[in-house]
Structure formats: structure tokens, C-alpha cells
Structure 1
Amino acid sequence: MVTIGWNAQRFPGASDHHVLEEISLLKSERLAVLPIDSYDLGPELSIVDEHEYGGEYDTFTFGSWSSHVLANGSGADSDVAFRPHEGSLSLTELGKRLPTIMSLVAAHFPLDRLQWVRIFALREGIIAPHVDFLEWAKPGLRVQVPLRTSEESLHSENDTVYHIRRGEVWKIHSTDPHSARSTATTARLSLCLDFAESEEPLAIRGDVPATQPVLLPERPEVGAAELEELIDSGRHFTPETMRAAFRPFAALHFERRAHATAAFDWYLEAARRTGDEDMVAKAQAFRRYCIEKRGDGEAFVW
């Protein structure tokens, strides 16, 4: 659990009560801060910018989001669908081209439990609220370390929205509904490390003291009129536009005080205004796929 002793900071306009309340509810945790400026990452981040993405997780994403695998269980560039695995970690061709980033990983993290090394790129995009590891009985431990970011890039968990600074190591509580959004035109690039044994402490080496508080953006309450306008947009849904129409529903909880899963409640109500039972069923199925139940390798078809 994140401790209040972090001296959480809100963007302008927040009350102390709301700051402490949200931090106390946040299950994701800042584990450490890395000396990120000790690494010359610029040339390798440019390689990631140019690297192609196969669209494995397009169901969850809107705008520009991509996943780039540096190391996995097989070493194959085509092996991009996350899953737990046994055995050693192997570099992909992309990972071999990024020795500085991989040296950062090796210098600061235990490699014996490490199963996947990826970089997530997010630019003018959003990830639908979702729960990770639904496909497997035993979740792993996932951490993210932004290598390039700005305050326009945000994460969310349940009711709370927060910003992860460059070089901060965050344990992401992936089994509660969570999301991410960036409105920046330059891609946020975040190192994602997946470890086996989620209950075991993660020994991080060579970190530096955290000197800055956690950043929480101020979010006013949802206005009745704006919410009604959003839900009433469902009257214009068609089977062809339903997918794209979900994006503003997912975005609203980054701007207003609302739970991440409220996006699905609003979206379902909007779908009901079509009077089309098939579209209502599709909205219900999308909620189930994102946050309730899905099988290993199961794909959602719009």
C-alpha cells in the first residue's frame, strides 16, 4: 500500500483531504527512483520510435499505443503476446539493438525472476480500463519505469489518477481496473518489466532517494449536463462506429472524479439508447472482456 508519508502533491486546486484520501486508496506503489540521467537513452529511444508494432493489443487501445518486446522466453520478435513462462530470458532482435536500456535493467533489477522486458509507447492515445492477468490463475508482478514522459501522460487505478515521473519505478496493481492516457504529441515511452512470484519483494539496486511527491491531477465532479450529453451520444452509435465511440467514455474519468469502470456503465447506457439489442450485448461483452473474464488467447471482435 502506498503510504501517506510520500507527501503527495496535487495539480492546482486540490484539497488536502482529497489528496490523502486518494493516496491511501492507491494500491500501485512507487518502489524506487533510478538515476535515469546516468544513461544516454536518446539514441535508443529513437530506435523504439521507429520500431513497428503488430497490433496485438488493439482491442484495448485508442489512438497511438504500441508494445515493443526487448526480451521474452523465446527471443523471437514475433513472440509478442504476454504470458507467463518457465526458463531463462532471451533478447529479441530489438533488445539486441538497445544495449543501454538492457544495461539499465541488468544494473537495477533481479534477472532470475524477470520474464518479459517491453517498452510501451503511448501518444495521443488511451487504454481502455482493464484488468491484467485474467487469463491466468496466478498473477505476476509488473513494474513500469517511464524513460520519456510528460505531465500530459497519466495512469489510473480505480478512482485515482496519477502521474509517473521519468525514472520512477512503480509496481502497477494490475488486478484492479486501471488505465493510461497521454495527450502529448511526443510518445511517452515506459519500460515494462514482468516478474514471476507477485508476492515476493523486488530487490532494486542502485536507486536514489525520492525527492519529489507523487503527482495527482485535480479532477472536478462530473456535471449532470456533460454526462447526459456523453450518454446521449449513443443514439448515433452504429455497429461500425461503436468501437471508436468508446474513447470519450474512457477519457472522462481522467478529467472528472469517477471510477475507471464508470466508463463501461456510461457506455452501456448509451448503447441502450440505440434500441438495438445487439449493440447492447456488444457493450456488455466488451465490459466483461476488459475487466471481468477472458480466456488465454481469446480475442474480442467488434
Structure 2
Amino acid sequence: MGRISLLKSQRLAVLPITSYDLESELAVVDGHEYPGEYDALTFGSWSCHVLANGSGTDSDIAFRPHGDELALTELGKRLPTIMSIVTNHFSLDRLQWVRIFALRDGGMAPHVDFLEFEEPGTRLQVPLRTSEESLHSENNIVYHLRRGEVWKIHTTDPHSAGSTSTIARLNLCLDYADSEKPVEIRGDIPATEPVRIMERPEPTEEEREELLDSCRRLTAATMRPAFRRFAETHFSRHVHAREVFDWYVEAARRSGDEDMVAKARAFRTYCIEKRSLGETFEW
């Protein structure tokens, strides 16, 4: 139970998700094109699909706070049932972005959101389709979001998501201005199951050494795919999200190439320490 008390992300509610017929609309999301805005942070198949934002433009997917009126994108107009979940259950006051994050056989590098902005917002996620293989993490804790659960994601500590499933997990993501004010949630149902925390064994010294030695021949072309193993270890072993980057930098040192070490350190900075507005990471 100790690890549950350390989890800063919160399950706020459970929605009656089975009362919505979502299959045809989820298939639309499956076939929707993603322009690769966050590719530097992702591996495998991760994508972002915008249903509503400040511009009403599908291709406008890079998060930023805005003061515009929320506008449906063309994709959002094609997904009336999913949008009805938003309007039926959530306050629209301060709501700035409605997106769906798709994840299949892949994940994200541990990262801290809102580093480039003066004030963090409030991010809610609701799985519309998920499986046991689809997981979230925060610091050294890995947990599972069940379908229909409403989670307030603690975005200002290192966190991540990963899945080994070949079926895309689809999470509805709602971004609100202001991190302090609560979001009104209506029409929820009682939670019947406890928060799902995943137990992971400690890594053995042999496992750690094998992972660090995997980068002895690291090159500029292999740096990004090589990082995937480090991120995946975080979900299978009890390794802190920050430690993923410590191991990656140490592994880069074993290549004997100072350029690789500098790039590994720069990636850690970009993901969890400091980013400027509009900055992108070039592998």
C-alpha cells in the first residue's frame, strides 16, 4: 500500500463508458493520420489526434495554452459520440484541448510536461479502449488506467506511458487551464475496484550491465532506437523514471564517443529538466 500513497496522479471518477457505442468512432481514430509532432519523445506506435482546440485545425496538435474559444476540428466533427462524453460529463469552463492519444506496441520517453510554460495546466485522461498491457508511470510507480476511469495526471514529475499490445490503446485527453481549480465531473458511477499499481521486480546487476553494454557501438543513427530498451525497462523493472536517463548516459559513455554522451545528456535535459517554447529535439 505504500506505493499507492506516493502516487501523485489521482483517479477522480469512473464514467459509465459502456453506455456509449464507441466502436465505429474508435475505428475512425485508428485510421486518422498523425503528422509526427512528438516523434522525438516516442518509440513504436504513438500518435496524437485533436478533436477540439483553439484553432479548429486538425494539424494544430502541439500543446500550448490559449485564450481562444474551443473549436471542433474536422476529426472532432466526425466523432460526435466521443465528444458527447466530454459535454455530458465534464465542465467546459477552462477546457482548451480535446485530444486522443493512441499507443500500440511502443511508448514515450519519461518526460515532464509544461516545462516551457509559466504555469502548468490540468490534464485529465480517460481510456476509451485499453488492455492490461497498457500502462502509465510516475517517478518509480507503474500503474494501469482502466477503461472509463478519469485520471488527473501529475504532469510535473517524470512520467511515461508504454504498451506491448498490438491493439491501440486510445485515451481521451482533456487539457484545462489552471492546475489548482478542480474540474467538475458529472454523471459518474461508483468505483468498484482499487487503483491498479503494478508490481515490478528490482533489476539484477546482470540485467543492468547487459543494458549498459548494449550501447558500446552507439551511433547517431542508433541513438533513438537504442533508448527504447531503457524506457521499456522502466515498465518491467522497478527503475525510477529519472534513472532511465542516468543509465542511458552511462551507456553512451561506454561507446567512447563524447558526441553520443553529449546527445544523451541533452535528451535528458529536454525531457525532464528544461525546454524553451517551440524547442524541438533533433536526434
Q: TM-score, normalised by structure 2?
A: 0.99
What letter is aligned with 1:92? T
Shift of 1:218: 1.7
Map of 2:93 onto structure 1: 112
What letter is aligned with 1:292? E
2:152 is equivalent to residue 171 of structure 1: yes
Shift of 1:80: 1.1
User: Which of 156, 160, 168 is equivalent to 2:137?
Assistant: 156
RMSD: 0.6
2:271 is equivalent to residue 287 of structure 1: no
Shift of 1:241: 0.4
Map of 1:201 onto structure 2: 182
Shift of 1:263: 0.8
User: Which of 192, 199, 207 is equivalent to 1:218?
Assistant: 199
> Aligned with 1:130: secondary structure?
coil
Supply the distance in 2 between the matched residues of 1:103 and 1:239 (Cα, whole angstroms). 46
Supply the distance in 2 between the matched residues of 1:120 and 1:259 (Cα, whole angstroms). 23
What letter is aligned with 2:214? S
Supply the distance in 2 between the matched residues of 1:51 and 1:92 (Cα, whole angstroms). 13
2:20 is equivalent to residue 39 of structure 1: yes
> Aligned with 1:261: secondary structure?
helix
Map of 1:95 onto structure 2: 76
Aligned 1:58-97 pairs, distance under 5 A: 58-97=39-78
The C-alpha deviation readout for 1:73-111, integer Å capped at 9, x for no partner, is: 010112111100002100000000000000110000011
Supply the distance in 2 between the matched residues of 1:65 and 1:274 (Cα, whole angstroms). 29
Supply the distance in 2 between the matched residues of 1:151 and 1:234 (Cα, whole angstroms). 31
What letter is aligned with 1:124? D
User: Kindly, what percent of the aligned residue pairs are identical?
Assistant: 72
The C-alpha deviation readout for 1:181-205, integer Å capped at 9, x for no partner, is: 0100100000000001110011100
The C-alpha deviation readout for 1:250-289, integer Å capped at 9, x for no partner, is: 1111111110111100000000011111110000000000
Map of 2:121 onto structure 1: 140
Map of 1:275 onto structure 2: 256
Map of 1:246 onto structure 2: 227
> Aligned with 2:224: secondary structure?
helix
Map of 1:4 onto structure 2: none
Aligned 1:16-27 pairs, distance under 5 A: 20-27=1-8
The C-alpha deviation readout for 1:139-180, integer Å capped at 9, x for no partner, is: 000000000001100000001000000000000000000000
Supply the distance in 2 between the matched residues of 1:124 and 1:55 (Cα, whole angstroms). 16
Q: TM-score, normalised by structure 1?
A: 0.93
Supply the distance in 2 between the matched residues of 1:243 and 1:201 (Cα, whole angstroms). 38
What letter is aligned with 1:108? H
The C-alpha deviation readout for 1:233-255, integer Å capped at 9, x for no partner, is: 11021111011100000111111
Supply the distance in 1 between the matched residues of 2:35 and 2:59 (Cα, whole angstroms). 9
Runs of 4+ aligned residues of structure 1 deviating over 6 Å after TM superposition are none
> Aligned with 2:98: secondary structure?
strand
User: Which of 199, 209, 218 is equivalent to 1:237?
Assistant: 218
Supply the distance in 2 between the matched residues of 1:216 and 1:138 (Cα, whole angstroms). 29
Map of 1:188 onto structure 2: 169
What letter is aligned with 2:195? V
Supply the distance in 1 between the matched residues of 2:178 and 2:222 (Cα, whole angstroms). 41
> Aligned with 2:214: secondary structure?
helix
Unaligned runs of 5+ in 1: 1-19
